[in-house]
C-alpha cells in the first residue's frame, strides 16, 4: 500500500501529559482522509506537527516515505487558523504569489478559477480581512492553489454555511481528481459525507478508529435492533450491545443471532435491521465526550 502521508507513534507532550499519544495515521495516495474528534482531542496539534509549524513531537512524520519532506515546501498545501496571508496585497495577489512559490506556470489561470469556484470574485482585489466565513474560503484557496500533492486542512468547514460547504466539497473533489491527496479534520463527522475515503477518530489524543469508507458502510448496515424478554442475558452474550430508551437493544449481526437466542432460551419479541448513522457510530467511541 502506498501512503503519501504516514505518522508512526506520534507523541506530543506538555509537562507530564501526553496530548497526542502514539498516533499512527495512514493517508493513501489519491484519497481524502477525514479525521474527526471533539474540540481539544488533538486534531489541530496533529496538523501542526504534520506541517512542521514549531510543535515539538516524538515519532515520525513521512511524506512519500521521506522524513525530510518538509524541506520541500511545495509538496504541501496547508490550512490552519494561525497561518496568515503571504503578503499584504489583495487576495488575487496572494493567490498568484503562492502559485508562483509552488512553481506553477499558469498562476493567473489557477487563481481566477479558484476565485470563481469558491465564489470569491467580488473579494479578489481586497485584502484578507473579511468575515470569518469568507476568510475561511480565502485560506482554503491559498492552501490548494498550485495543485500540491498533499493538502492538509484543519477544520475547514467550521465557519461555513451549507452553500459554502457545498462549494468547498466540489473544489476538494476536483483536487482529488487532479491527483492531490487530502487530510482534513472536523469536529463533525457529517462534514466528511461524500468526501472521505478513510475515516479516523481522535479521542483524548489517541487514534481510536481508522477505517476505509467501505468498511464503515458495512458496519453501519450490520446492526440489529432486538427486543427480548431478558435484556441482561442478551447483553452478556453481546458485550458491545447498547440498550436504547425504547427498549430495543442494538447488536452486531454476526449471522447467527436468531440461532443463538433460540439456543439460549431468550424470547424475541421483535427484531429489525436498522442502518446506524455515522455520528452515532463514532459517538460510541467517545465515552463521556460529545461532538459539537
Mean pLDDT of 266-280: 87
pLDDT at 166: 95
Please give the Cα distance from 135 to 148 (Å, whole number).
21
pLDDT over threshold 90, residue 249: yes
End-to-end Cα distance, the chain: 34
Cell of 160: 461555513
pLDDT over threshold 60, residue 173: yes
Please give the Cα distance from 222 to 257 (Å, whole number).
12
Can you give the pTM of this predicted structure? Answer: 0.83
Which of 193, 188, 190 minimizes the C-alpha distance to 172?
193
Residues 6+ apart with CB under 8 A from 163: none
Pair 46, 78: CB distance under 8 Å: no
Please give the Cα distance from 94 to 89 (Å, whole number).
6
Mean pLDDT of the chain: 87
Amino acid at each position: 500500500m502506498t501512503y503519501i502521508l504516514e505518522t508512526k507513534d506520534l507523541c506530543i507532550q506538555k509537562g507530564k501529559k501526553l496530548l497526542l499519544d502514539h498516533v499512527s495515521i495512514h493517508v493513501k495516495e489519491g484519497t481524502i482522509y477525514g479525521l474527526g474528534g471533539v474540540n481539544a482531542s488533538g486534531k489541530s496539534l496533529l496538523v501542526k506537527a504534520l506541517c512542521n509549524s514549531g510543535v515539538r513531537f516524538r515519532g515520525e512524520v513521512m511524506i512519500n516515505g521521506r522524513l525530510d519532506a518538509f524541506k520541500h515546501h511545495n509538496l504541501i498545501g496547508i490550512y490552519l487558523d494561525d497561518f496568515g496571508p503571504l503578503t499584504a496585497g489583495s487576495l488575487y495577489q496572494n493567490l498568484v504569489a503562492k502559485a508562483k512559490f509552488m512553481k506553477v506556470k499558469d498562476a493567473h489561470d489557477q487563481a481566477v478559477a479558484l476565485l470563481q469556484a469558491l465564489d470569491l470574485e467580488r473579494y479578489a482585489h481586497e485584502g484578507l480581512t473579511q468575515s470569518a466565513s469568507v476568510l475561511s474560503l480565502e485560506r482554503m484557496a491559498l492552501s490548494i492553489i498550485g495543485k500540491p500533492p498533499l493538502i492538509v486542512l484543519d477544520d475547514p468547514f467550521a465557519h461555513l454555511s451549507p452553500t459554502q460547504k457545498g462549494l468547498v466539497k466540489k473544489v476538494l473533489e476536483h483536487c482529488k481528481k487532479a491527483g492531490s491527496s487530502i487530510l482534513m479534520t472536523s469536529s463533525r463527522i457529517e462534514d466528511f459525507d461524500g468526501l472521505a475515503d478513510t475515516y479516523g477518530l481522535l479521542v483524548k489524543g489517541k487514534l481510536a478508529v481508522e477505517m476505509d469508507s467501505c468498511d464503515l458502510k458495512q458496519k453501519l448496515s450490520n446492526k440489529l435492533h432486538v427486543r427480548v424478554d431478558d435484556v441482561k442475558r442478551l447483553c452478556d452474550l453481546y458485550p458491545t450491545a447498547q440498550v436504547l430508551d425504547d427498549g430495543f437493544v442494538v447488536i452486531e449481526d454476526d449471522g447467527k443471532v436468531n440461532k443463538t437466542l433460540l439456543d439460549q432460551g431468550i424470547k424475541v419479541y421483535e427484531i429489525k435491521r436498522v442502518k446506524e448513522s455515522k455520528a452515532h457510530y463514532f459517538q460510541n467511541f467517545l465515552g463521556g465526550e460529545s461532538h459539537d
